[in-house]
Chains A and B, each alone.
Chain A
């Protein structure tokens, strides 16, 4: 069975602060993919990043960075110098990459509020 845990239900920061969203996952598979999605107030689900279980390199994209640590089964997401537009619910998700179950398993989400 697969499980994704986002222990932080809601985080509130002031603009320009850095913030890290935690994600811990459980899977018996050796090959899998991890994702982060953003759900702004408008409601759509926006893909942010995917990471292969064999690739533990951290990734940086502008103000966003991701830290994947297989040893702790974590895939954390950091926003540097947060902005009001970052206010959204962020979901971490997991999918098997073999021929098994193809469905994404989502965490419960973290609501980020960035105050001006």
Chain B
């Protein structure tokens, strides 16, 4: 299995631009999570999906952030417009409900820099 695949690995964009982060979960996994990691706030959950349906988006910072999961094999996290304080590493993770006890498999992350 290829694991959780995130793209791009690095993204540098100018303030005000739209940014789209992509994630392909492990085939067969029915949960997908988006986390953000910053020095100040550590690893924080942004949103998670179950069977492509958003379950908890309480961690999404503000309306500038949106996430979609149009099918079981693809999810996007979009920031529009981006701001310098959005600079962080964004991780996607997936898991299989019957094996929640096994935790998640994380992607390699997308390092976003907004200048």
Contacts and interface: CB of A to CB of B under 8 A. Distances in A.
B103 to A, nearest CB: 5
Contacts of B101: 33, 50, 52, 95, 97
A101 B59 CA distance: 13
Given A91-B43, A101-B56, A102-B31, A50 B109 contact: no
Interface residues of B, number: 24
Nearest to B41: A108
B91 A45 contact: yes
Contacts of A7: none
Secondary structure type dominating chain B contacts: strand
A35 interface: yes
10 contacts: A33-B100, A43-B111, A44-B106, A44-B109, A45-B91, A45-B93, A97-B100, A103-B33, A106-B43, A108-B42
Contacts of A101: 56
A16 to B, nearest CB: 30
B67 interface: no
Contacts of A44: 106, 108-109
A97 B31 CA distance: 14
A106 B102 contact: no
B109 A104 contact: no
A102 B100 contact: yes
Interface string A78-97: 00000000000001010101
Nearest to A51: B101
Interface string A97-116: 10001111111110000000
